[in-house]
Amino acid sequence: MQRAVITGWGSCVPDAVLSNSDLESRLDTSDDWITTRTGIKERRIADATTGEIATVAARHALAAAGLQGSEIDMIVVATCTPDRLIPAVATVVQKEIGATGASAFDVNAACAGFAYGAAVGTSAIESGLAKRILVIGADRLSAWLDFEDRSTAVLFGDGAGAVVLEASDDLGASAPGVLSVDIGANGEFGEQLTVPGSGLEVHPPDKMVAITMDGREVFRQAVVVMGEIAAKVTESAGLELGDIDLLIPHQANSRIIDATARRLDLDPRRVFVNIHSYGNTSSASIPIALTEALEQGRIDPGGHIVFVAFGGGFSWGALAVRWGDRVHPLAKSDASLPPSTRTALEIMESNQV
Ligand code: ACO
């Protein structure tokens, strides 16, 4: 068996910033409500496709790993906001980066998507199916928001993040790599976080199609499940909770993150939070957070990292990882999104039917 090691990382956050005060000008809400209930101060809005933001993140991750697209043999894009039903976003990325020998497919586990994608990538390496995998989380939930609905419009932002997983023969006691994975779901709660009338359910849509959410139910379950599965992967990895050097949770709500940290008895300094800058970017939030954690020197060689996520479905996932020796990118890419002059408010308005 081989082990999956994260050797590259990168992100793409669009330039257009939607601040709480922008939302105050449009909705019956306030900076104070949003900040105290969610921790969010601003979020980014993409004037680009999901394929484009995924590709930029992928190029940064490839550069960090010192690889060319042609060296990748599998691309997994976690997204619940593909540009089209067919083709998969992963095949768009494949074409753009020239990964001609790679398999490419999308997974949809809403906000838990990156954990699912990383779990699939890890298994593909452990089984010998692939050796160098791009796992990308890319979402553009701004396109599926009803700008009149203050209970959802304030929460979400757009972005993408990516990692490169590479196969390693080193299975030693202190060897780096993904040590354990857990994923799960409970379809009984499908209606609590959904986009009714999307897909082929109502075709063509006869009214605005937008995300709806029973926020209290998501909150109630997320705080329990995220703590439980983070503890489970830590134990499966042969670690104690005290061994966790950095928890990187899905960034949905700072109160969910705080509650998860309390359940794990983790000092807040060992929990990465950037929700104030980006809101909930769904499957992109963990790889964006990982990239920032590395840029900020929050990850040391050999450090133990736990990723944990919860989202629509309901679905959830966690991974325990021992970091390798390298905490800096091998190279940097100058990849960026196509230029746009539109403000975040203008992009949001144009998404409304
Ligand atoms: N501004 C001002 N007031 C608001 C807003 C707003 N943006 N939104 C709701 N309110 C009001 C409500 O109308 C309600 O008013 P009322 O008491 O007069 O009826 C009051 O604030 C409280 O509303 P609650 O829904 O009870 O607020 P709560 O404290 O639960 O916070 C929130 C809502 C932020 C959505 C929270 O429940 C939450 O974060 N839930 C989890 C969301 C999540 O984790 N999603 C992740 C998955 S997403 C995915 O998978 C794609």
Query: pLDDT tens-digit profile of 236-288?
Result: 999 999 999 999 999 999 999 999 999 999 999 999 999 999 999 999 999 99
Q: Please report which confidence band the pLDDT of residue 200 belongs to, taking 50, 70 and 90 as the band edges.
A: confident
Ligand 1 center–CA 151 separation, angstroms: 5
Q: What's the pLDDT at 353?
A: 64
Q: Could you confirm whether 280 is annotated as catalytic?
A: yes
Instruction: Tell me the β-bridge partners of 121.
Output: none
- Quote the CATH superfamily of domain 1-353: Thiolase/Chalcone synthase (3.40.47.10)
* Confidence at residue 209, expressed as pLDDT on a 0 to 100 scale: 87
pTM: 0.96
From 40, 79, 151, the mutation candidate for ligand 1 (largest count of ligand atoms within 8 A of CB) is 151
**How many helices (H) and strands (E) are present in the chain, helices listed first?**
11, 13
Residues 6+ apart with CB under 8 A from 127: none
pLDDT at residue 96 is higher than 70: yes
Higher-confidence residue of 136 and 205: namely 136
% the chain with pLDDT above 90: 93
For 260, half-sphere exposure in the C-beta direction (CA atoms, 13 angstrom radius) is: 33
pLDDT over 90 at 88, yes or no: yes
The letter for the amino acid at 85 is L
The answer to whether the beta carbons of residues 114 and 161 sit under 8 Å apart is yes
Backbone angles phi, psi at 220, to 5 degrees: -55, -45
Residue to mutate (ligand 1; options 218, 226, 275, 286; most atoms within 8 A of CB): 218
Q: Is the model's pLDDT at 169 over the cut of 80?
A: yes
CB atoms within 10 A of CB 345: 17
Q: Tokens 């450090």 belong to which residue?
A: 303
Asked if pLDDT for residue 348 goes beyond 80, the answer is yes
Q: What is the pLDDT of residue 202?
A: 76
Q: pLDDT at position 115, please? A: 98
Please check the confidence at residue 324 and state whether its pLDDT lies above 80. Answer: yes
Rounded Cα distance between 75 and 96, Å, is 12
